[in-house]
Amino acid sequence: MRNGLFDLTGKTAAIIGAGSGIGEAVTRGCAQHGATVVCLDVNVEAVERVAGQVNASGGKAEAAKLDVTDASAVDAAFGGVRARHGALDIVICTPAINVRKPILKYTDEEFDRVLNVNMKGSFGVLRAAGRIMTEQKKGSIIVFSSIRSQVVEPGQAVYAATKAGVLQMVRTAAAEFGPHGVRVNAIGPGVVETPLTAQIKSNADWYNAYAAKTVFGRWARAEEMVGPTVFLASDAASYVTGTILFADGGWLAADGRFTPPGM
């Protein structure tokens, strides 16, 4: 039996990036909590697989191709969800890209590419979802930011800037949409094992260094982002808006790994 506080039964959730990684895990989690999930991703074969598996396990899912950088397509996708299901209750946006390079080696094309997905894509999602949800006087929008909205390392200038920008857009949207009954929040993951972080996982020193930055000494699993997301999507977070929920294994809490003598 589902806990009523976190129950998403009767709600429709449009999830962008549902074809893999965090987006896939969150899609399955929302479906398990009763939501009808609309799986959206640039990789249509991937979201058709995810939707098929959700349906086979007793959930309710549909799939469609969506490029988050195509604002008109985002508008159409959300409008279609509302037309088919009567409401757009939850929107979750997970996609982001990163080009790891020092500032002095960054090209204009790389800069534009990262901003186009991370910032412009997120803005289009906030705008499209906001138009519908403010009209229907309800809804929850969740956009994935990162610990990089707060702390950086060499090679992360543009990615970190976009993740900080996403957080500020979320806060502004919360202020603007709140009077219409719409909540807007961000999630800030730390290091999560997904296909996009395979490059780091394949380098033992790099992988272990990131693991050591957490107080648990390990990376997160994609499934560990489900709880924070379902919380923000559900009535359990009915008075939560304009904030970021960090799921980072204590990365931001601990500023060093040295344990003083006698501790």
What pLDDT, in 10s, does the model give residues 88-126?
A: 999 999 999 999 999 999 999 999 999 999 999 999 999
β-bridge pairing 220-221 and 192-193:
parallel
Q: Is 80 exceeded by the pLDDT of residue 262?
A: no
Tell me what the mean pLDDT of segment 243-256 comes to. 93
Residue 114 contacts residue 99 (beta carbons within 8 Å): yes
Q: Is 60 exceeded by the pLDDT of residue 203?
A: yes
Question: Among the listed ranges 94-103, 169-178, 225-234, 249-258, which one has the minimum average pLDDT value?
Answer: 249-258
Q: What percent of the chain has pLDDT over 70?
A: 96
Give residue 1's pLDDT.
Answer: 41
Question: Among the listed ranges 110-114, 173-177, 211-215, 225-229, which one has the minimum average pLDDT value?
Answer: 211-215
H or E stretch covering 232: helix 226-233
Residue 12 contacts residue 88 (beta carbons within 8 Å): yes
Catalytic residue numbers read 159
Domains with residue ranges and CATH for the chain:
4-190+223-247 (3.40.50.720)
Tokens found for residue 7: 């129950």
Tell me what the mean pLDDT of segment 135-153 comes to. 97
Give residue 263's pLDDT.
Answer: 58
Q: Is 90 exceeded by the pLDDT of residue 21?
A: yes
Give residue 17's pLDDT.
Answer: 97
Give residue 258's pLDDT.
Answer: 62
What pLDDT, in 10s, does the model give residues 182-201?
A: 999 999 999 999 877 878 88
Q: State how far the Cα of 107 lies from the Cα of 129, in Å rounded to an integer.
A: 32
Q: State how far the Cα of 92 lies from the Cα of 213, in Å rounded to an integer.
A: 27
How many Cβ atoms are within 10 Å of 213's Cβ, its own excluded?
23
Q: State how far the Cα of 11 lies from the Cα of 92, in Å rounded to an integer.
A: 13
Give residue 119's pLDDT.
Answer: 98
Give residue 194's pLDDT.
Answer: 87
Q: Is 90 exceeded by the pLDDT of residue 14?
A: yes
